[in-house]
Structure 1
Amino acid sequence: MKKLGLLPKILIALILGIAIGAVAPEAVVKVFATFSGLFGNLLGFVIPLIIIGFIAPGIGELGKGAGRLLGLTAGLAYLSTIAAGLLAFFVGSSLFPHILDVGSLAKEFANPEEALLPPYFTVDMPPVMGVMTALLLAFTIGLGSAVIKGDTLQKVMVDLREIVEKLISSVIIPLLPIHIMSLFANLTYGGQVQMILSVFAKVFVIIIALHLVYLLVQYLVAGQMIRKNPLGMIKNMLPAYFTAIGTQSSASTIPVTLRQTKKNGVSEKIADFVVPLCATIHLSGSTITLVCCSMAVMMLHDMSTSFGMIFPFILMLGVTMVAAPGVPGGAVMAAIGLLESMLGFGPTLTSLMIALYIAQDSFGTACNVTGDGALAAITDRLSKSDAA
């Protein structure tokens, strides 16, 4: 099992969870419910640490980078992420009401937690601070350390990031398949899982289609700016796309993305700077997935998905994606705080989001890294204009 990637483990966990929930007695399912409850409480404790540990040093490091080129790249990455989120919102608002049974879960259960068997016991694990407090503190520390150019606090934050990364990679991610298996055993026992899986099969098709459409838009813009055939540029980037599907990691795909970006005519200096940076801060594919999945979950539970609610979430998501740890599923881990504080997700909806996100994580990562090549080309053209 150690040799399997996260996605195969998640798929195996889903199948096992459904099988257990279909045949196991209530007493057995409650054992899994107990584990799921404990893991959910641990996740709640870790969320503020994830926010501070990733956002604060990330902003601090960006503020000390290579001046204008850094600002240009970060600005383009943020705008691209926001545009991806808006595309997902408008398409989701148009299509989801026609393919989803809106409010179907809310008709049966006023609270999502009512649908699940209760655990045998719980252990309270209160977080050290609230999500919004953690966000504000992270922004204050990150921006402050960048402004005063102080190294001491920045080094502390970098150490904290390494601790949180170790916690995520060594504890949270390995236990995640068991948590998802437990959740789906409980959902199956409660009779909800068939409807949830049938709904999200349709949503996944729309998400992957949006990834491809957004990549085409990015390369149409890039191709127009550098006077190259956008379809030819996309063809050059296909090795990076398929490598990302296999690795589920933007960081692991950097060497391939770099090589293919240079084949598209981007200068070596710009490619060497932009591609590794965008692997961390440009997550347009992940944003499309997060927005679509969260809207679908909210519609099933008859929650508001108005522009006034989703747009601030997209704006904050653009910033939070900078903090996404470089592990499979890292983007959804970084976004959990926003899902809870801005969209009102409880433990059950959060766990469902994690499962749904990771099930297609490789396609989101592939969209992210392939789009990095387009941003590198745009940055190259704009930087030459500034120099002229």
Structure 2
Amino acid sequence: MSTEKQSKWEAYKQPVILIACVLVGAVLGIVLGDKAAFLYPIGQIWLNMLFVLLVPLIFFSISSSIAAIGDTRRVGKLLIMTIAIFIITAAIAGTIMFIVTAIFKPDTSITIETTSAAVESAEQSIGDQIVNTFTVSDFPDVITRAHILPLIVFTVFFGMTVSTLGEKGRAVSEWLANMSTVFYQMVNILMKFAPIGLACYFANLTGTYGPELLASYGRGLLIYYPTMFAYFFIFLGLYAFVAAGRWGVQHFFKEIFVPALTSLGTRSSAAALPLQLRACDNMNVPREVSSVVCPMGATMHMDGACLATVYEIVLCCALFNHPLNGIGDYAYALVIAVAASIAVSSVPGGGAAMETMLISSFGFPSAALPILIMMTQLFDPGCTLVNSCGDTVASMMVSRFLYGKDWYKRAPEKAD
């Protein structure tokens, strides 16, 4: 039992310490007021170091993963169907959060001055926004944190090109993998100082803007977690019904209990992966489906993250006086949320990369990043629960579309 408690503490230790330090910093800022500004340089130095690491981290981690992929032509149809389901369900999750935030609006008791970049972004046409979000016109522009999504597009293209070179590209692929390991470790080291950096930053932030800023977090929890649980029971149940009717709903909720508790308790989709695969076996999901969909889903299928990302977009739009006007703005925000949750989630430290993408896409000031990092920590257990369990139901849906409505009646595969 002591080992189990220790394991749970290890899973939650980092966010607990981080949240505690941020609260200490926030209280210190409230007490000191404007005098807390002396802590600003410490927080900003940590933030700048994180910004510097993001671009090479994204490039090496994603390109090395893609470059290592072998011939996928045999499973082409499976991959296309899997990615399509990931995108569709993430878009549904994001749309739901837009509806919820339209009814229960984020806290708007405080607004923070915006930048000219936000105004310029708002004045662009939808076509210009799409072009400028996914591409840039010159190479130096693609290696800046102001253009995260174009960087990802370039990185995927680069990784695929290395993969097509076969033996000639092996040396490059190995170099990319080694560089990815280096930057992964740099982020790990830097994140050890996150409690200090964010505590100092929040001390200055609350010292400048007052305790009203903290109300945004409390309201965020009251909005996100009921929405997350509603999505889990209603929409994952609906996806199971699409996959296998009433049988699918009954067996999904029966088999998902242990994986769900594991993902919630460890805050890790990877930790729950073996249990997700066992749940798929118990529901007779073909191995050739579950062995692809679940591992891919652990890094790409992020419905819970999409729920959180949409809320964070709406929150920042409220905080920084950057309203979403019309269906075009909401469609653009949904594309960004889905792309961020799918594309960046596989990157070590991907939460910060995802939040940086939001900042660059909407022109929010850099002050938004610590706010979003804190919000992500609060949402993370719920995100992991939906992300992980969504992989199992996605395996069921892929089986339905590949093998027909009676897929679960096939002869069960024996364990190896």
- Give the alignment's TM-score, normalised by structure 1: 0.82
Whether the aligned pair in 1 keeps the contact of 2:344 and 2:353 (CA below 8 Å) is yes
Which residue of the partner structure matches residue 83 of structure 1?
92
For the 8 Å contact 1:223–1:230, the answer to whether it is kept is yes
Q: Tell me the distance in 2 between the aligned counterparts of 1:316 and 1:168.
A: 24
The reply to whether residue 308 of structure 1 matches residue 328 of structure 2 is yes
Is the alpha carbon distance of 1:253 and 1:16 closer, same or farther for their aligned partners in structure 2, counting shifts above 3 Å? same
Corresponding residue to 2:174 among 142, 155, 168: 155
Instruction: Give the distance between the partners of 1:54 and 1:81, measured in 2 at CA.
Output: 23
- Looking at structure 2, the residues matched to 293 and 86 of structure 1 have their Cα atoms a distance apart, in angstroms, of 13
Contact 2:258 2:275 in 1 (8 A): yes
| Structure-2 separation of matches of 1:209 and 1:81 | 18
1:285 deviation in Å? 0.4
Residues 252-299 of structure 1: per-residue CA shift (max 9 Å, x gap): 221222223333332344223321221011011011101102211221
1:205 has 2:222 as partner: yes
- 1:42 equivalent in alignment to 2:54: no
Q: Deviation per CA, 1:71-94, whole angstroms, max 9, x where unpaired?
A: 222222122222222222233234
User: Quick check: 67-76 or 35-44, which moved more?
Assistant: 67-76
Residue 225 (structure 1) aligned with residue 243 (structure 2)? yes
Partner of 1:9: 17
2:206 paired with 1:188: yes
| Equivalent pair of 2:54/2:145 in contact (CA under 8 Å) | no
Instruction: Check the 8 A contact 1:10/1:177 in 2, yes or no.
Output: yes
C-alpha RMSD of the superposition: 3.1
Q: CA distance change for structure 1 residues 341 and 289 in 2, over 3 Å: closer, same or farther?
A: same
Counterparts in 2 of 1:340 and 1:326: CA distance versus 1, 3 Å: closer
Once the two structures are superposed, residues 282-319 of structure 1 have per-residue CA deviations (whole angstroms, 9 ceiling, x without a partner) of 01101110110221122122112244345334334434
Native 8 Å contact 1:19 1:185 kept in 2: yes
Within 2, Cα distance between the matches of 1:267 and 1:252? 21
C-alpha distance in 1 between matches for 2:101 and 2:62: 28
CA-to-aligned-CA distance 1:27-51 (integer Å, 9 cap, x gap): 6x33421111101211221121232
Q: 1:164 aligns with which of 160, 180, 183?
A: 183
1:20 match: 28
Out of 282-291 and 131-140, give the one that drifted further.
131-140
Q: Judging changes above 3 Å, is the alpha-carbon distance between structure 1 residues 214 and 374 closer, same or farther for their aligned structure 2 residues?
A: same
The answer for the alignment partner of 1:179 in structure 2 is 197
Deviates more, 1:173-182 or 1:145-154: 145-154
Q: Is the 8 A contact 1:58 1:322 kept in 2?
A: no
Instruction: Tell which deviates more after alignment, 212-221 or 246-255.
Output: 212-221
Pair 1:304–1:62, CA change in 2 (3 A): farther
TM-score for the superposition, normalised by structure 2: 0.77
The match for 2:260 is: 241
Q: Is the aligned partner of 1:356 residue 2:375?
A: yes
1:310 to 1:163, Cα distance in 2 relative to 1, 3 A: farther
In 1, Cα distance between equivalents of 2:272 and 2:38: 39
Aligned to 2:400: 381
Specify the code of the residue in structure 2 equivalent to 1:70: L
Q: Which residue pairs with 2:81 in the alignment? A: 72
SS at match of 2:367: helix
Letter in 2 for 1:259: R
Structure 1 pair 63–319 and aligned structure 2 pair: CA distance change class (3 A): farther
2:59 corresponds to: 52
Q: Find the counterpart in structure 2 of residue 116 from structure 1.
A: none
1:288 maps onto 2:307 in alignment: yes
Which range is displaced more, 202-211 or 378-387? Answer: 378-387
CA distance 1:74–1:247, change in 2 (3 Å): same
User: Do 2:145 and 2:356's aligned partners in 1 also have CA atoms closer than 8 Å?
Assistant: no
Question: Partners of 2:57 and 2:306 in 1: how far apart?
Answer: 18
1:361 deviates by 0.8
CA distance in 1, matches of 2:250, 2:317: 36
- Partner Cα separation in structure 2 for residue 31 and residue 64 of structure 1: 56
- Aligned pair count reads 365
Q: Percent of aligned pairs with the same residue?
A: 18
Q: Which residue of 2 aligns with 1:122?
A: none
Conserved? CA contact 1:283–1:368, under 8 Å: yes
